[in-house]
Amino acid sequence: MDINDFREKLDADEGLISKPRILVSLSVIFIALNISGASLQEANTLIFKIKFTRHKNLIYLFFISISFMLLRYYAYAKSYHDLLFSFWSKRMISDYKIFQYTPKEEAISGLLSKRIDVWPGDEPGIQDLKYEVARIFKRNLVYQCSGHDEIHGDYYYDSNIELNKYSETWQRKDFLILLKFEARYQLEAILKYRESLDILFPYVLGFVALFSFFIRDI
């Protein structure tokens, strides 16, 4: 899937679109209540009006509702997070300063060449590297390998190169340089590609709303 297909899928997903609308609406009202000190007197529905007599308890209802909608929205948006990650990580891996493969010489250059200790002639899958975030400050490179079994024939599997393991050629400073590149490409994805902001903005507003709950009396 390319970026244009991703945008069409995102814009056509009614289930996903409805969730941030509710989350954003609740968050905006909750922020206004906490910051301005206003109280919600009545709520209009299609059939009747509801008048609230216990305004303080309403704040807790908003807090729980926003927390639930954040979890609900994440469940719907998880597949899009994975796609967004694949987009910016591929752009990063394609940067010649980070990784470059020269077919004629079968040689690897760039920052990651300090960590990759396999020869592309033996492992052709290394030409199609994938960047993986295992957990906080733990990063891997993943590429496809092949083998042969006398009973089952050819088989394929993923091989990992752990970037948190250091050597004489790959040191902690090299890993920190990689993290700087990662931060730059993530920021570029947010500022340059509108789909990233479309997905992330409801989270930001939701967490700001929850944070406003704790500072409303300060």
Residue 156, pLDDT score: 81
Global confidence as pTM:
0.76
Q: Which of 194, 197, 2, 172 is nearest to 91 (CA)?
A: 2
Res. 202 pLDDT band, cuts 50 70 90:
very high
- pLDDT tens, position by position, 44-75: 555 556 555 555 677 888 899 999 999 999 98
Which range has the top average pLDDT, 40-44, 121-125, 153-157, 160-164? Answer: 160-164
Residue 55, pLDDT score: 59
- CA–CA distance, 208 with 63 (Å, rounded to integer): 11
User: Which phi-psi region, left, alpha or beta, contains residue 110 (left: φ > 0; alpha: ψ -120 to 50)?
Assistant: left
Higher per-residue pLDDT: 176 or 26: 176
CA atoms lying within 13 Å on the CB side of residue 2: 1
80 and 62 in contact (C-beta within 8 Å)? no
- CA–CA distance, 38 with 183 (Å, rounded to integer): 39
Residue 41, pLDDT score: 58
Residue 105, pLDDT score: 80
Percent of the chain with pLDDT over 90: 38
- CA–CA distance, 68 with 152 (Å, rounded to integer): 48
DSSP 8-state secondary structure symbol assigned to residue 137: T
147 has a pLDDT exceeding 60? yes
Higher per-residue pLDDT: 119 or 83: 83
- CA–CA distance, 83 with 21 (Å, rounded to integer): 22
- CA–CA distance, 171 with 26 (Å, rounded to integer): 47
